[in-house]
Amino acid sequence: MTSPLDTTVCPRCEQSTVRVMTTSPVPGAWTMHVCDTCFYSYRSTEGPTATDPASFPQDWKVDPADIPGMLAMPPVPQRRG
Ligand SMILES: [Zn+2]
């Protein structure tokens, strides 16, 4: 048995800006969460590396201070002529 999911802190950016995005058609099967800071979303039934801030891979963490300077990927090309 695992401990209840902490849905108040984003696993990726660790901000307290997580909210419920949607819930399963079958009540209680899963809940989808989304972070309003880094837009990471995850389902409550995913493993701890996707849902738990302490287990989320360090290499994939996002510092909220870096978000405004991030590039759009893929870059939008200049219009021709
Ligand atoms: Zn986040």
Tell me: the pLDDT tens digits for 28-42? 999 999 999 999 999
Report how far ligand 1's centroid is from the alpha carbon of 21 (Å). Answer: 13
Give the confidence band of 66 by pLDDT, cuts at 50, 70, 90. very high
Mean pLDDT of the chain: 91
The amino acid occupying position 20 is V
Q: Give me the numbers of helices (H) and strands (E) for the chain, helices first please.
A: 1, 3
Q: What is the pLDDT of residue 34?
A: 97
Q: What is the pLDDT of residue 18?
A: 96
pLDDT exceeds 90 at position 4:
no
Q: What is the pLDDT of residue 1?
A: 42
Q: How many Cα atoms are found within 13 Å in the side-chain-facing hemisphere of 13?
A: 18
Report how far ligand 1's centroid is from the alpha carbon of 53 (Å). Answer: 10
Report how far ligand 1's centroid is from the alpha carbon of 78 (Å). Answer: 31
